[in-house]
Structure 1
Amino acid sequence: MKNSLWTLAGTSVAAGILAGCAAPNPGAGASNTPAGQPPVGGQCNAAPAQSFVGKDSTASVIEAARVQSGAHMARVLRPGQMITKEYNTQRLNLVVDDNGRITAVRCG
């Protein structure tokens, strides 16, 4: 009896952990994404956001570039700033000059 309780408890814990890792069904339910915008949390594609090179890195421009690229997040990289080097396929990087003007758009 004691072993079966431990087995049942272990199975319940494992099922709970796996349920938390399950990916949601993208076709189920309503979408919170406004029409014409890519979903949040997608793969970054810097090509559609290249039109933002030369613009000031205001909050609205950064968000528009993120949406245009389909990335989940965006970060601004300033001259001399220390940054993490890990590659993140869901992140858009906006490289800016000393004046805050975007000089490069890339994923990672």
Structure 2
Amino acid sequence: MKALLLLLPVCALAGCVETEAPAPAPQPEADSCHAAQFRGLVGQPRAVLDSMKLPQATRVIGPRDAVTMDLRPDRLNFEIDGQAVIAKIGCY
């Protein structure tokens, strides 16, 4: 019993040991899919995209569309709101 009481402070101090923080995940380039050239389309009707030639693998995401959560920094994404207006453009 006395041995157990002697180990208690040692166990309490073990909880105070600092551990090394995990390395942060690498961040993609800010405009790796060249979204900046399309920023002027935010607020425009979704229909304007129909007449444009968009890069391959571009996603046009509606308000209730299911999309994968995989990160592809080179993929251009247009998010459409409930009023069929381009709400967001990004690389993901």
Bucket of the pairwise TM-score, normalised by the shorter protein? 0.5 to 0.7
Q: Which has the higher contact order (CA 8 A, sep 6+)?
A: 2
Question: Are positions 1:49 and 2:38 aligned together?
Answer: yes
1:99 to 79, 83, 86: 83
Question: What is the Cα deviation at residue 76 of structure 1?
Answer: 1.1
Any runs of at least 4 consecutive aligned residues in structure 1 with deviations exceeding 4 A, and if so which?
A: none
Aligned residues: 59
> Once superposed, what is the RMSD of the aligned Cα atoms?
1.8
CA displacement, residues 75-100 of structure 1 (integer Å, 9 cap, x when unaligned): 11111321101112332110111122
Give the alignment's TM-score, normalised by structure 2: 0.54
* 1:31-88 deviation digits (Å, cap 9, x = unpaired): xxxxxxxxxxxx5121121011011122114x3xx3xxxx433111111321101112
Deviation of the 1:103 alpha carbon: 0.6
Structure in which a larger fraction of residues adopt helix: 1
Extract unaligned runs of 5+ from structure 2: 1-31
Q: What's the TM-score, normalizing by structure 1?
A: 0.47
